[in-house]
Chain A
Amino acid sequence: MIKVENVKKKFVTYNNKKEKEEFYANNGITFEANDGEIIGILGPNGAGKTTLLRMVAGILEPTEGTVTFDKLNYKENEIEIKQNIAYLSGNTKLYDTLSTYELLKMCADIYGVSKENAEKRIKELSKVLNMDSFLYNKIANLSTGQTQRVNIARCLVHDPKYYILDEATTGLDIISSQIILDFIKQEKQKGKTILYSTHYMEEAENICDRVIMINKGVVINSGTPEKIKADTNTTNLRDAFFAMIGGVSNEE
């Protein structure tokens, strides 16, 4: 179980007059994600989703609050936690001079997966994520959808327990998106805990057990998609979100 308690992240910026300004990208976020559950983190661009997931993945340290994984925390059990995490951010071409196989093998070695298990896992992921045709191709030469499948595979090569997926399907065609979404659903069945951030409301409604809606760094609602729709008296999460923030505004 992942437990996030009253997490805040403060950043310092400088305005046009070069005066220091502080702002909270996340301001007191609390939630729990149970084993075998997909939690959707929803919100528009700049809502604070990525900052939240980066704190959960141990990339950023919260200014306040705690993140624990089955009662383990980063201060005392950093390596142990990271050994069990899959973190994916956007669509990146990590080490694009390597081939897909080389990248997966490298990640398996870094996570300490034995040679036999690594080969088995690579073969398995290659089949599930439909990567056989480009397993030995250089990542730089792959399409966006292929690259994202490689990204997912490299995060999962060590068979982690917790998945932190930040906008895993952004920019992908429907076939690539569907392969990834089906895969996430399968992993849920295996009891994995999945945090899934997206700004595609329909996608969240389709795969998430519960959703946490964030706007301007705070949680504006949370619960099952049905509960949120009922709360806002709407028929889908998109309308529910607009109902909560009071319609479309040009204000950032």
Chain B
Amino acid sequence: MTFLLTKIFLKSSIQKMNEQYGVSSNKVKKLKIMLYAFLALYIIGIIYIFSYNIIDGLREINQETTFIGLILLIVLGFTAVQTIFSSINILYFTKDTDSLLPLPIKPYQIIWARTNVLILVEYFIDIIIGLIPLIIYGIMLNCGTMYYVSAVLAVLLLPILPIILISLIVMVVMSFSKITKNKNRFQLIATLLVLALVIAFSFGITQLDSTEMTDEQMIQMITQANSMVNMIKGYFPTLEFGINAVTSTSVITTVIEFAKLIGITVIAFAIYILLAQKLYFKGLIGNLYGGSKKKSFNSEIKSKRTTLGRVYVAKEFKTLLRNPVYLVQCILPAIIFPVLCIGIVVFGFNGDEAQDLAELSAMLQENKLLLLFGIIAINQFFSMIIYVSATAISRDGENAVFMKYIPVSLYKQYVYKTMPNIIMNIISILIVLGLARYAVEISVLDLVIAFGVSTIMAVFQSFLLLLIDLKRPKLKWSSEYAVVKQNFNLIFPMIFSFVNIGIIVILGLAMEEYPAYIPVAILAVAFMLATVILCGYLKKNQYKLASKIM
């Protein structure tokens, strides 16, 4: 039964992922597979470079086995952090629990199956961050088959103990807390924390990569890492058994160490199941049937008299900001990506790279057209990840019909729905301009011109993307993920951005002999005219364009 339940839970998770990430046409499917393959290769490439450099450095000072301890420690750490969030999601935020409870299934079977799913989910990350570096280690040091078998077993067995420990802590917390009543807020905080970790990690890697390490520094780093491994061993004895099993060259030692590891894991798992039966359902039932907070009517609440446009745009922003899926997919990229990409270039460069940047700055001083068009093109590049307009209608789903029975003309509503995209573009533009000002010398006038032209282009693109969403709205969905993931419309921001960048390049090349402000003015006027024509089209066809909303 436990195996069957695990299979069902896992299947429903995969099915949910398919719904979220889209199983549409074969072409799209192939494109997605290619994209994921590329992403996987990219990540593997980064891990390879990272592992290679460390192993190589450690080999020079005959400390290469430290790498194994370090990687297994990283696996433990990552698993522990990840489990805090994934255990809440898998154990408490699954919709099928209420239909499972009345079935003749024993409580321990549900817990066991859910924990299995949790462990399997963690394996995805563990294989990437744990197994790949260990395989690279094996290849670089010509290790035998026993090493690879031990490495696989260690990566599969080690995460179990932190997973069940964290899950137990989560169960205790959930028995008392009201987190489940604020599911959206929790998921939002979790996502923001993960994003913060990713950003910190990216900056850390940049700093680490750009710093030339001396032998003394390397030894110091290893000593620190070793002392950390030793400290953690005290709390997680399984780590020691895992490290011993993988590093040992004796078959008997390896078998004994694995026997200890498996023994402790099995005993811990049995205790976990026993305790979880007492704790899990207490929190779960609170989650399923928890009531809502009560507040009394406050007639003193003061609200400002606001204009229709402001109300409508505020409503759009509230939907975007309060829904974690929309916040992460539509709003945050406009801020995070410019900061991350340009920030790494500007602040992460040291030594020769900083010198190159200074030379680039000097060169741009002499070529104003390149400077202005470069900044405008960068802004266009970042606009491709702003999906606010491209999902403006789809986000409302079947409720989009609201637009058709309120006493506000459809054209006005189109304009209001475009505003958040324009505002997010402007924020992104301002970040780019701020960082550009820091990195290269640029006059205030040129900053204003770059801002103006980029904004004009952003306005045009925002309306164009709304038009696309009006023509091809995705109104039937059960999860918000479908709007931002399983939506072919999202390819259009990328297409339009690349087309616009192409226009900028062609115009720049064709008019490089002219004073810089002439091609920039032509670009601005052309996009302004295009916006006027587009708005005219939207106004004239406002009812026809809404025909798919019903």
Contacts and interface: CB of A to CB of B under 8 A. Distances in A.
Contacts of B323: 97
A203 interface: no
Contact of A133 (B294, B303, B543): B294
Contacts of A123: 297, 299
B315 A95 contact: yes
Interface string A107-142: 101111011001100010010000011111100111
Interface string B254-269: 0000000000000000
A98 B316 CA distance: 11
Contact of A135 (B297, B318, B322, B404): B297
A91 B408 CA distance: 23
Contacts of A97: 184, 318-319, 322-323
B43 interface: no
A132 B299 CA distance: 11
A140 B312 contact: no
A87 interface: yes
B398 A98 contact: no
A60 B299 contact: no
The 8 closest A-B pairs by CB, nearest first: A97-B322, A82-B407, A109-B311, A83-B407, A87-B405, A59-B404, A136-B295, A79-B407
A176 to B, nearest CB: 15
Nearest to B296: A132
Nearest to A93: B399
Interface string B301-312: 101111010011
B269 to A, nearest CB: 35
A85 interface: yes
A220 to B, nearest CB: 25
Interface of A: 54, 57-61, 78-80, 82-83, 85, 87, 89, 92-95, 97-98, 101-102, 105-107, 109-112, 114-115, 118-119, 123, 126, 132-137, 140-142
B550 A119 contact: no
A119 B298 CA distance: 10
B94 to A, nearest CB: 17
A111 B407 CA distance: 7
Given A132-B296, A140-B184, A141-B181, A95 B405 contact: no
Task: Specify which of A82, A85, A126 lies most central, judged by the most chain B CB atoms within 10 Å of its CB.
Answer: A82
30 contacts: A54-B401, A54-B550, A58-B405, A80-B407, A82-B407, A83-B407, A92-B399, A94-B399, A94-B402, A95-B319, A95-B399, A97-B319, A97-B322, A97-B323, A105-B303, A110-B308, A110-B311, A110-B406, A110-B408, A112-B308, A114-B305, A115-B304, A118-B303, A133-B294, A134-B294, A135-B295, A137-B293, A141-B181, A141-B292, A142-B292
B409 interface: yes
B293 A57 contact: no
Interface string B278-306: 00000000000000111111010101111
B409 A109 contact: no
Nearest to A83: B407
Interface of B: 181, 184, 292-297, 299, 301, 303-306, 308, 311-312, 314-315, 318-319, 322-323, 398-399, 401-402, 404-409, 543, 550
A134 B408 CA distance: 29
Given A126-B297, A141-B181, A102 B318 contact: yes
Contacts of A98: 315, 318-319, 322
Contacts of B299: 119, 123
Given A58-B405, A106-B311, A137-B293, 14 more contacts: A54-B401, A58-B404, A89-B401, A92-B398, A95-B315, A97-B184, A98-B318, A110-B308, A110-B311, A110-B408, A111-B406, A119-B299, A132-B296, A134-B292
Nearest to A126: B297
Nearest to A87: B405
A58 B301 CA distance: 34
A82 B405 contact: yes
A59 B319 contact: no
A60 B308 contact: no
Contacts of A112: 308, 407
B407 A59 contact: no
A114 B303 CA distance: 11
B68 to A, nearest CB: 47
Contacts of B293: 137
Contacts of A95: 315, 318-319, 399
A121 B416 CA distance: 26
Contacts of B292: 134, 137, 141-142
A134 B297 CA distance: 9
Contacts of A135: 295, 297
B101 to A, nearest CB: 19
A137 B405 CA distance: 25
A79 B409 contact: yes
A119 B308 CA distance: 17
Contact of A85 (B311, B315, B319, B405): B405
Given A110-B408, A111-B407, A136-B295, A119 B305 contact: no
Nearest to B297: A132
Nearest to A94: B399
A93 B292 CA distance: 16
A115 B297 contact: no
Nearest to A105: B303
B318 A109 contact: no
Contacts of A110: 308, 311-312, 406-408
A98 B319 CA distance: 8
Contacts of B318: 95, 97-98, 102
B308 A57 contact: no
Given A59-B550, A94-B399, A137-B292, A106 B315 contact: yes
Contacts of A140: 184
A118 B408 CA distance: 18
Contacts of A132: 296-297
Given A95-B315, A97-B322, A110-B406, A119 B301 contact: yes
A106 B398 CA distance: 19
B530 to A, nearest CB: 29
Contacts of B550: 54, 59-60
B178 to A, nearest CB: 11
Contacts of B295: 135-137
Contact of B401 (A59, A78, A141): A59
Task: Specify which of B297, B299, B314 lies most central, judged by the most chain A CB atoms within 10 Å of its CB.
Answer: B297
A142 to B, nearest CB: 7
Nearest to A146: B292
Contacts of B297: 123, 126, 132, 135
